[in-house]
Structure 1
Amino acid sequence: MKVSKKTYTVQEATRKLEHYCVYQERCHQEVRQKLISMHMIPEAIDLIIVHLLEHNFLNEERFAKTFVSGKLKIKYWGRRRLTYELKKKDVLKVNINQALGEIENEEYVGIFNNLAEKKVNSINEADKFKKRKKLIDYLLYKGWESHLVYEKANELIP
């Protein structure tokens, strides 16, 4: 039995990708991957991406800002993790820096302090050195800057 792959015309693929981008902000890499998975040829992929850019369905600067804001407020990621994840998505450095620049320092430190205090209360460890290490490892994994992490760990677990 032959399994046939669904094929799309450039117009059909363009409409499908417009909906894909309207549903949620996307980066160029995600859109390119989606088109490849739809078995589009490279020329068609380039044509569709240009169309999406020209009609503002695809905007990497907007994607970076939305990504940073969402991951900071929902997943409580620090600047280092945000930068790393955006680089993995091939987002341009200028867009990453612009998005990170929009984070209010007061809000950033507030989120960090709440996260650290919540985590320290959830760690069941009698040994204060092990408890401090668990807190530090957790906060570093979340991408918070090491100077903030060590300062806070020493403050919360003297």
Structure 2
Amino acid sequence: MEKKLFTFKETKQKLADYCVYQDRCHQEVEQKMWEYVLIPEAKDEILLYLIQENFLNEERFTRSYIRGKFYMKSWGRTKIKSHLKFKGISEKLINSCWDEIDEADYQKTLEKVYNKYYATLKGLKEYQKKMKTTKYLMTRGYEYQEILKLNDEDN
């Protein structure tokens, strides 16, 4: 990919706009910087500027990511956590942001996803349906223990 040539000021503004459009993590911004021809000192200065001016805020990003993936995509904690770790977010920060998901909402969503998927399974024995549903929910990032509780309630 051909790198674009912009002045330092233009690049700084473009990266600020990139952060304003949607909350970003450091890794995403550093990746975006590869599109521009910048010396390491310029990259550092831009990162510092973005942090000082609150365009780049790792905690805000983490909280927003957790809310979005749970409330919009119905992902479970495990999947959200692994995706955040992949983006370079620390375990400590992730753990401090779980309060973005209301526990009652989490249980309701888990039940909703469980029941919706379970209802689609036709022509299977009860234990097969439960097994498939458990597998499906685990791929959606829900904890095995939480799924087991739902399975037990069904009996």
Query: TM-score over 0.5 for the alignment?
Result: yes
Matched, 1:40 2:38: yes
Runs of 4+ in 1 over 3 A off after TM superposition: none
Indicate the residue corresponding to 2:150 in structure 1: 152
Residue 76 of structure 1 and its aligned partner are, at CA, apart by 0.8
Deviates more, 1:83-92 or 1:5-14: 5-14
Structure 1 residues without counterparts, runs of 5 or longer: none
Within-5 A mapping of 1:1-158: 5-156=3-154, 158=155
Cα RMSD over matched residues?
1.7
Residue 155 of structure 1 and its aligned partner are, at CA, apart by 3.5
TM (norm. structure 1) is 0.90
Amino acid at match of 1:110: K
Residue 137 of structure 1 and its aligned partner are, at CA, apart by 0.7
Residue 104 of structure 1 and its aligned partner are, at CA, apart by 1.5
- In 1: Cα distance, 2:29 partner to 2:135 partner: 34
TM (norm. structure 2) is 0.91
Structure 2 residues without counterparts, runs of 5 or longer: none
How many residue pairs align between the two structures? 155
Contact kept? 2:3, 2:35, Cα under 8 Å: no
- In 2: Cα distance, 1:123 partner to 1:99 partner: 35
Amino acid at match of 1:139: L
Sequence identity, in percent? 36
Structure 1 residues 4, 70: CA separation in 2 closer, same or farther (over 3 Å shift)? closer
- In 1: Cα distance, 2:58 partner to 2:122 partner: 42
